[in-house]
């Protein structure tokens, strides 16, 4: 009797990737900075790296007027110069969004990575429609609210599908890790599953790209010409079939 391989497929957090990008900007040979006076009138002429600015923005002691000045300057630079200021704007929302996401219910059918990607997409879309005439105190709120609304829409849709849709054949496998071991072991399992037609070659490549190779959900979805949510659904369905075959010791 073949021993079932246990393989862990851990997804890269979209929020973590945004955080890492901000740290790269702040620690580059020429760090990206903002005037310190925006947050502290006692430091005229100085400049703070963007990660420190974000830390101060997230601190509850920072006045709303200071946050508004920072947001106005970030939006001005984004509209005038483009990247990397768009990425900075999105990254500035992540601490608040993390706190908001922590208060939401955890659904087994909905992966955290899918939820985070949906939230970030909404923030980016909202940023794209902001204009120089925005009230400074509303800029950050608009971005965070857009992300929060997207999270609630996705949660509601998932809960609705849970009520109306059929139960999975093996409910215990939904949202759970499939296998744990080295990457080489996982690749072999995916290759065997594709040869046995448990999953397609395209599905095996999708699982490998997002679970093992660190490719973002958005990149995979764009490459396949589908939405991020559809990509997650396609991967989830393939992983359920793979899990069932592993449990039945068919691979």
What is the 3-class SS of 57-90, one letter each residue? Answer: HHCCCCCHHHHHHHHHHHHHHHHHHCCCHHHHHH
For residues 38 and 146, membership in a common domain is answered with: yes
* Confidence check: pLDDT of 23 > 60: yes
For residues 187 and 233, membership in a common domain is answered with: yes
Residue 134 maps to a domain: yes
For residues 160 and 182, membership in a common domain is answered with: no
Percentage of the residues of the chain whose pLDDT score is greater than 70: 83
Lowest mean pLDDT among 41-55, 56-70, 164-178: 164-178
For residues 85 and 209, membership in a common domain is answered with: no
* Confidence check: pLDDT of 97 > 60: yes
Q: What is the pTM of this model?
A: 0.65
Query: In the prediction, which pLDDT does 204 show?
Result: 86
Query: In the prediction, which pLDDT does 216 show?
Result: 78
For residues 131 and 185, membership in a common domain is answered with: no
CATH number, domain with residue 221 = 1.10.10
Query: In the prediction, which pLDDT does 113 show?
Result: 84
| The token pair that represents 142 in the structure block | 């608009």
Residue 14 maps to a domain: no
Can you give the residue range of the structural domain that contains 233? 178-247
* Confidence check: pLDDT of 106 > 70: yes
**What mean pLDDT comes out for the span 215-238?**
80
Residue 2 maps to a domain: no
* Confidence check: pLDDT of 64 > 50: yes
Q: In whole angstroms, how far apart are CA 44 and each of 8, 74, 185?
A: 51, 18, 57
Query: In the prediction, which pLDDT does 169 show?
Result: 38
Query: In the prediction, which pLDDT does 222 show?
Result: 81
Lowest mean pLDDT among 16-20, 43-47, 52-56, 172-176: 172-176
Kindly report, residue by residue over 123-182, the tens digit of the pLDDT: 999 999 999 999 999 999 999 999 999 988 888 777 776 655 444 433 333 344 444 556
Q: Residue 8: phi, psi to the nearest 5?
A: -100, 125
For residues 126 and 182, membership in a common domain is answered with: no
* Confidence check: pLDDT of 101 > 60: yes
Q: What is the CA radius of gyration of the chain?
A: 21
For residues 53 and 109, membership in a common domain is answered with: yes
Query: Quick check: 241 and 194 in contact, CB under 8 A?
Result: no
Query: In the prediction, which pLDDT does 43 show?
Result: 65
């Amino acid at each position: 009797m073949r021993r079932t391989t246990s393989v862990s497929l851990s997804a890269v957090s979209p929020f973590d990737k945004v955080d890492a990008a901000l740290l790269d900007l702040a620690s580059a040979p020429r760090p990206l900075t903002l005037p310190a006076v925006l947050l502290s009138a006692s430091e005229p002429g100085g400049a703070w790296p963007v990660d420190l600015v974000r830390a101060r923005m997230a601190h509850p002691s920072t006045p709303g007027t200071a946050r508004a000045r920072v947001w106005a300057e970030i939006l001005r630079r984004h509209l005038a110069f483009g990247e990397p200021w768009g990425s900075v704007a999105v990254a500035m929302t992540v601490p608040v969004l993390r706190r908001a996401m922590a208060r939401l219910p955890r659904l087994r059918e909905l992966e955290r990575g899918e939820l985070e990607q949906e939230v970030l997409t909404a923030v980016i879309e909202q940023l794209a429609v902001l204009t120089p005439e925005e009230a400074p105190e509303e800029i950050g709120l608009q971005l965070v609210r857009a992300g929060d609304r997207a999270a609630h829409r996705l949660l509601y849709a998932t809960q609705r599908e849970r009520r109306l849709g059929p139960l999975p054949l093996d409910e215990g496998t939904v949202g759970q890790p499939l296998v744990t071991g080295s990457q080489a072991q996982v690749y072999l399992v995916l290759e065997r599953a594709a040869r046995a037609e448990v999953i397609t070659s395209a599905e095996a490549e999708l699982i490998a790209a997002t679970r093992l190779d660190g490719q973002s959900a958005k990149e995979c979805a764009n490459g396949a010409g589908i939405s991020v949510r559809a990509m997650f659904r396609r991967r989830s369905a393939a992983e359920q079939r793979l899990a069932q075959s592993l449990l039945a010791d068919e691979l």
